[in-house]
């Protein structure tokens, strides 16, 4: 009997391990965060105000090419995992609480450091960060999550062939026409988030992989180089011949180039064999917080100019510029880990203990079941 019991425990442990976070995908989440962080360093930091293409400006331009690809990867990951998951109202409440905490907290910090009063600024939108789109990504993610029961039903109902028709049809409308012909028919950030969610779900459901595993690695290596060369070409045509083409077409979320890059990175990391790592998984878990800290609409400029002091390295040697960027990345991750640890343990856990009260717990479980049977 004891031997059988031990076997059962071992099987349960193995099952729990399989159900845990996949560290190869979590590593990709971290890499995507770095892409977005460097992109913010470029567009929100002092380097964005340099209009002459110095060495630092060119290096920053190259390093920021994958920023929008990183956003697409996040939606891909969401679709990949959520297609086989169930909607949980508690998860949505945690998201609302987390975004509210950083929105209000950083707004108050900005008011304090800038010595402004409540009369000088309308803080009402920052009290409703999801509905007021203070963080566009958080808003889109919240709505996509709300729609997941309906999306999952639709995706599974369409089947492989139907999903392919969906992805091609809306890929043309949302990506190809805007990229090459400047035609915007249905584009919105929410529709784009849903599109990438369906793409991620499609990859999971129908086990999409590259026949040659090196393909994803090649895309990961050459994608930023190709996009950078495209940007340089656009700048050259504008300066030399007065032919103006928006270089944002090369790096924006909806660009076909960004889709190719996101899928390439995703399938490459998916093919990696990495053992579960608590360190990778935990760092990945706080990645979202780095957006909430560095991408706050009101606090963003203060963060980059006064906290990170990007203005001090604009004309520095390249190695100083790169070192500063690396230190900013490390610093914000340390800040995110400490802040999130305190927030979860001092605020979130005590509040969610209330939700474990039996009548309320039963109500939330019934709500989840009602949504998930749709």
Q: How does pLDDT run across 55-110, given as a tens digit for each residue?
A: 888 888 888 889 899 999 999 999 999 999 999 999 999 999 999 999 999 988 88
What domain range is 298 assigned to?
Answer: 35-63+75-208+273-372
pLDDT exceeds cutoff 60 at 255: yes
Looking at the structure of the chain, the number of domains it has is 1
Query: Is residue 342 in a domain?
Result: yes
Q: Which residues contact 226 (CB under 8 A, 6 or more apart)?
A: 257
Termini Cα distance of the chain: 43
Query: Is residue 226 in a domain?
Result: no
Query: Is residue 86 in a domain?
Result: yes
CA 144 to chain centre: 13
Query: Is residue 260 in a domain?
Result: no
Nearest-CA neighbor of 135 among 100, 94, 110? 100
Nearest-CA neighbor of 149 among 76, 208, 105, 83? 83
Q: Which residues contact 111 (CB under 8 A, 6 or more apart)?
A: 117, 118, 121, 123
Query: Is residue 155 in a domain?
Result: yes
pLDDT exceeds cutoff 60 at 219: yes
| 26 touches 284 (CB < 8 A) | yes
Query: Is residue 174 in a domain?
Result: yes
pLDDT tens, 67-78? Answer: 899 999 999 999
pLDDT of the residue at 4: 42
Check the CA dihedral 344-350-351-357 and report its sign. Answer: positive
Distance, in Å, from the CA atom of 323 to the CA atom of 325, rounded to the nearest integer, reads 5
Distance, in Å, from the CA atom of 44 to the CA atom of 65, rounded to the nearest integer, reads 15
Distance, in Å, from the CA atom of 308 to the CA atom of 331, rounded to the nearest integer, reads 9
Distance, in Å, from the CA atom of 254 to the CA atom of 246, rounded to the nearest integer, reads 14
Judge residue 51's burial from the number of C-beta atoms within 10 Å of its C-beta, 0-12 exposed, 13-18 middle, 19 or more buried. Answer: exposed
pLDDT tens, 302-343? Answer: 788 878 888 888 888 989 989 998 898 888 889 999 999 999
pLDDT tens, 164-173? Answer: 999 999 999 9
Query: Is residue 306 in a domain?
Result: yes
Query: Is residue 225 in a domain?
Result: no
Note if the pTM is more than 0.95.
no
């Amino acid at each position: 009997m004891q031997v059988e019991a031990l076997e059962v425990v071992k099987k349960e442990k193995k099952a729990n391990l399989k159900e845990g976070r996949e560290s190869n995908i979590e590593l990709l989440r971290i890499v995507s965060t770095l892409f977005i962080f460097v992109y913010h360093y470029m567009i929100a930091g002092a380097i964005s105000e340099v209009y002459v293409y110095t060495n630092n400006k060119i290096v920053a331009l190259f390093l920021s090419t994958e920023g929008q690809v990183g956003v697409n990867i996040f939606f891909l990951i969401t679709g990949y995992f959520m297609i086989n998951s169930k909607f949980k109202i508690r998860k949505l409440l945690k998201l609302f609480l987390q975004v509210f905490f950083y929105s209000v907290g950083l707004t108050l910090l900005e008011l304090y450091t800038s010595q402004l009063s409540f009369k000088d600024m309308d803080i009402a939108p920052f009290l409703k960060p999801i509905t007021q789109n203070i963080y566009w990504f958080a808003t889109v993610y919240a709505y996509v999550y709300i729609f997941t029961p309906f999306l999952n039903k639709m995706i599974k109902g369409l089947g492989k062939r139907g999903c392919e028709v969906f992805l091609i049809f809306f890929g043309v409308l949302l990506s190809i026409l805007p990229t090459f012909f400047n035609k915007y028919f249905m584009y919105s950030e929410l529709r784009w988030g849903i599109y990438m969610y369906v793409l991620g779900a499609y990859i999971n459901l129908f086990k999409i992989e590259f026949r040659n595993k090196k393909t994803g690695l090649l895309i990961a290596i050459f994608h930023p180089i190709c996009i950078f060369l495209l940007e340089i070409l656009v700048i050259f045509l504008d300066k030399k011949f007065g032919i103006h083409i928006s270089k944002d077409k090369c790096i924006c979320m909806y660009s076909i180039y960004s889709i190719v890059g996101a899928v390439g990175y995703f399938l490459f990391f998916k093919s990696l064999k990495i053992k579960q790592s608590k360190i990778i998984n935990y760092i990945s878990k706080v990645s979202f917080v780095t957006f909430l800290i560095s991408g706050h609409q009101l606090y963003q400029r203060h963060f980059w100019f006064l906290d990170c002091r990007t203005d001090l390295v604009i004309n520095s040697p390249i190695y100083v510029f790169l070192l500063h960027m690396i230190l900013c990345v490390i610093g914000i991750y340390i800040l995110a880990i400490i802040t999130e640890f305190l927030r979860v343990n001092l605020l979130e856990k005590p509040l969610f203990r209330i939700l474990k009260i039996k009548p309320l717990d039963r109500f939330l479980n019934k709500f989840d079941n009602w949504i998930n049977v749709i």
